[in-house]
Structure 1
Amino acid sequence: MARDDTVGPATGGSLRERMDEAHIQPGGWLLASDVEGPLFLGDFIAEALSACLKPSGGVVEAVPSYGQILYGEGYAAFSADTDALRRPEGARCGRTSPEGGYTLAQEGTDTIFALPLLLAAGADYSYLERLALRSPETPGAAEMARRLDEMGWQRVGITTAPQQPYRLVAERCGWLAAGRLLGSPFPLMEAEALLRRLGRWDVEIDGVRAYLRDAYALIDRHSEVWLDGSTWRRHFSEAGRKLLRQRFRRFYREELGISYSHGERAGRSASTALGRVIEACGMVGDRAKAALALGLARRGGGLDRLVTMGDGANDALMLRRACWSIGVNGPAAARAAAIGLVTDDMRHVLVLLQLIEQGGNDVEDVIGRAQAELRGAALVHRGGDGVSAKIAEKHQLMKRRLRGEFVTY
């Protein structure tokens, strides 16, 4: 089958098309922020996998769940396999534009690997939308947004998560324009329609279910489960993790026929329809996030009026490429950003943004003035590779407190 059979609007437009949708106006400051963490809490794809993926029959519901383990170990295998494929990060302040396109080798784009698993589990768009609409606002995010509007700032949310459910969340909350929430495609029902049209539904979904049965058996065989008060806990052994990562690789790389390399994919098609759908999706990973933030800044007030904000590893490149950046409640983000912030209230971000707007041209000066104004209400510190293990732990603890223990990124 030709590649064009799986490529369509549902697999995501170009970065330029996404930027056009945001309707950024010339002039002024721009805040480009990750969505899950700084703006909304939770991870609805992880929540869907945790709820939907489990063996049939009598199952002990334990923490971490089967779905959480599958998500976490799949991410670990993907990260190990793609580390050598990722391009150098380049210079801070956007002096070097992100190179090339955006591919499955980007940090964070393994989100699309949940698609065949959720299809096999019977999940649909309405289910994902219900989960997304349940996502609470991060404390203080709505007030931060309103104050930024008063200050004349433009705001855009950039996420690896599926775009459409979060656009519904934006419409519901009212303080972030839906067109300014830029995310990844997740063509769940389009993939099902394609498989059925090609007569491939039964054979390919049976293959997914076989992978899940193997994965559940590995988790059961290499786990200990015990009752901790009122909660069942599961310990998954290192030997089991190694075997599950090997099974992940065999399923995605060999059975679905997926490649992470753009150059390799250009000369051939994946061996399955599901593989072709996954490869065709223009996922918003770390390089795409950086490209979107810089491109939108050029359409607005320029790179010197861009502030980026994020809490995860897939935000790191976007944070490094901006002159002003805030890593909030995440150790990887803090080490990538100019400024680190540990807080349970996004209104504290306003203090930093106001100081930057008022003419702060020295990071240390902005940090010092913010520390004096916040008076211990939040931890503000210098970002970069020199972030200590103690401060990194404070970031991780706050992230777990706000977003839950098993957030992948």
Structure 2
Amino acid sequence: MRDDMAGLPTGGNLRERLSRAGIRPGGWLLASDVEGPLFLGDFIAEALSTCLKPATGATDAVPSYGQILYGEGYAAFRADTRPLMRPDGGAASPPPAGGYTLAQEGSDTIFALPLLLAAGADYRYLEQLALRSAETPGAAAMAEQLAAMGWQLAGITTAPQQPYRARVLACGWLEAGRVLGSPFPLAEAEAMLRRHGRWEAETDLVRTYLDDACLLIDRHSELWLDGGMRRRHFSDAGRKLLRRRFQRFYREELGISYSRGERAGRVAATMLGRIVEACAMVGDRAKAALALGLARRAGGLDRLVTMGDGANDAAMLRRAPWSIGVNGPDAARAAAIGLVSDDMRHVPVLLRLIERNGRDIDAVIGRAQAELRGAALVHRGGDGMSEEWAEAHRRMKRKLRGEFVTY
């Protein structure tokens, strides 16, 4: 790490994170995404929705300025990084030209750091949002059933791990050390910018971007009243312009690169850019690597089940011997088994059958369907999943997590 980044908490490498998780040898392991299967809150999205708005003249509507900035920023970030990913997300496929950095895979988290820093959000605020995150219905009972079955449970997330560790300490049914996520050094980044005399100049750069982005939203939106709610329609032309403005801000103004080869030959033009590049985020491939590493420390890879509800869980779901895509079409397409349920107590039914039935996916699905009797929908996952099943996943995800889930 560069000398001017010394003292920045970057999360450590994956091996260090694994060693701190306290996984015991023996038995089965469920490695799950945190947001969706375990908790319904997405405190980064909530913080952006609340904090990001014009300095003056803001019009409150749904979706909010922050929700649009989050959704379009996520889409732009994924478009930038997709060409640098391995085609199938696995180690056997050819590496992309220039190499790809794990640091940029936690895209929904890392692009928010400069925005929340300039908006005045602090670590305590994020922790308060995390503490308000509701448990997914049945998640606590699921954890208790897993413990009775002799299973270990770990949560892997792209989100900052410390706020969620505070949340699981409060709930008591998941060990805090088993929440593995990303660093999000708000306080340390501010201290570093101030120490180097860069605070005003670089936060002004962020605020200029936010002013431009909010102006684009205002110019390309239509507002109407829907009952007692003011709604906002943001046009497709506006979305394209906003994504271009996002890309210009991160690529050119902050000077962030997503390519390992490019990073090796230059230093980002801004300190904020260097801070973002220094943080070892947990993203798609890192989630998979953490799940496999935890399994090796437990009962071995043949006793690993992974679970997730989003596109950023796909690599983790594909690489595990058994996987469950719950309440998310992208996750179900990547997983061995799809589950649509509003109660996580249905998950241990699948896990017990997985224990008993070796590699017979059809037997597990058939027996689960018979046992659950319509209380939850169980089907075979994979790319051939029907659009009817995909829509059932989308409906349940909206029911549990709200209208504006990004992925």
**Would the TM-score normalized by the shorter structure come out above 0.5?**
yes
Q: Which residue number corresponds to residue 284 of structure 2?
A: 286
Q: Report the secondary structure of 1:271's partner residue.
A: coil
Please give the residue correspondences for 1:355-374 in structure 2 after superposition, counting only pairs within 5 Å.
355-374=353-372
Residues 255 and 268, structure 2, Cα contact 8 Å, conserved in 1: yes
Say yes or no: does 1:400 pair with 2:398.
Answer: yes
Alpha-carbon displacement from aligned partner over 1:235-286 (angstroms, at most 9, x marks no partner): 0011111110110011000000000112221222111010001011100000
72-81 or 176-185: which moved more?
A: 72-81
Amino acid at match of 1:281: C
Q: TM-score normalized by structure 2?
A: 0.96
Q: Which residue number corresponds to residue 84 of structure 1?
A: 83
Residues 168 and 175, structure 2, Cα contact 8 Å, conserved in 1: yes
Please give the residue correspondences for 1:310-389 in structure 2 after superposition, counting only pairs within 5 Å.
310-389=308-387
Q: Which residue number corresponds to residue 62 of structure 1?
A: 61
Aligned with 1:303 (options 301, 304, 308): 301
Alpha-carbon displacement from aligned partner over 1:92-151 (angstroms, at most 9, x marks no partner): xx999x998852443x42411111111111111111110000001000000000111111
Q: Matched residues in 2 for 1:90 and 1:408: separation?
A: 21
Q: Which residue number corresponds to residue 51 of structure 2?
A: 52
Q: Which residue number corresponds to residue 168 of structure 2?
A: 170
Q: Matched residues in 2 for 1:299 and 1:3: separation?
A: 33
Amino acid at match of 1:49: L
Please give the residue correspondences for 1:193-208 in structure 2 after superposition, counting only pairs within 5 Å.
193-208=191-206
Amino acid at match of 1:269: V
Amino acid at match of 2:155: G
Alpha-carbon displacement from aligned partner over 1:318-349 (angstroms, at most 9, x marks no partner): 00001100000000000000000000000000
Q: Matched residues in 1 for 2:253 and 2:340: separation?
A: 43
Say yes or no: does 1:191 pair with 2:212.
Answer: no
Residues 338 and 363, structure 1, Cα contact 8 Å, conserved in 2: yes
Q: Which residue number corresponds to residue 128 of structure 1?
A: 126
- Kindly state the Cα deviation for residue 377 of structure 1 after the two structures are TM-superposed: 0.4
Amino acid at match of 1:136: A
Q: Report the secondary structure of 1:326's partner residue.
A: strand
Residues 305 and 321, structure 2, Cα contact 8 Å, conserved in 1: yes
356-365 or 339-348: which moved more?
A: 356-365
| Count of aligned pairs | 404
Q: Matched residues in 1 for 2:330 and 2:124: separation?
A: 33
Q: Which residue number corresponds to residue 42 of structure 1?
A: 41
Q: Report the secondary structure of 1:22's partner residue.
A: coil
Q: Matched residues in 1 for 2:2 and 2:241: separation?
A: 32
Q: Which residue number corresponds to residue 215 of structure 1?
A: 213
Runs of 4 or more consecutive aligned structure 1 residues displaced over 6 Å after TM superposition:
98-101
User: How much is the aligned-residue C-alpha RMSD, in angstroms?
Assistant: 1.7
Amino acid at match of 1:407: V
CA distance 1:9–1:150, shift in 2 (3 Å): farther
Please give the residue correspondences for 1:134-145 in structure 2 after superposition, counting only pairs within 5 Å.
134-145=132-143
Unaligned runs of 5+ in 2: none
Q: TM-score normalized by structure 1?
A: 0.96
Q: Matched residues in 1 for 2:92 and 2:323: separation?
A: 15
- Kindly state the Cα deviation for residue 9 of structure 1 after the two structures are TM-superposed: 5.1
Unaligned runs of 5+ in 1: none
Q: Report the secondary structure of 1:11's partner residue.
A: coil
Q: Matched residues in 2 for 1:357 and 1:240: separation?
A: 51
309-318 or 57-66: which moved more?
A: 57-66
Q: Matched residues in 2 for 1:363 and 1:298: separation?
A: 22
Q: Matched residues in 2 for 1:366 and 1:7: separation?
A: 51
Q: Matched residues in 1 for 2:270 and 2:108: separation?
A: 18
CA distance 1:174–1:9, shift in 2 (3 Å): farther
CA distance 1:195–1:334, shift in 2 (3 Å): same
Q: Matched residues in 1 for 2:45 and 2:330: separation?
A: 20
Alpha-carbon displacement from aligned partner over 1:371-391 (angstroms, at most 9, x marks no partner): 000000000000000111111
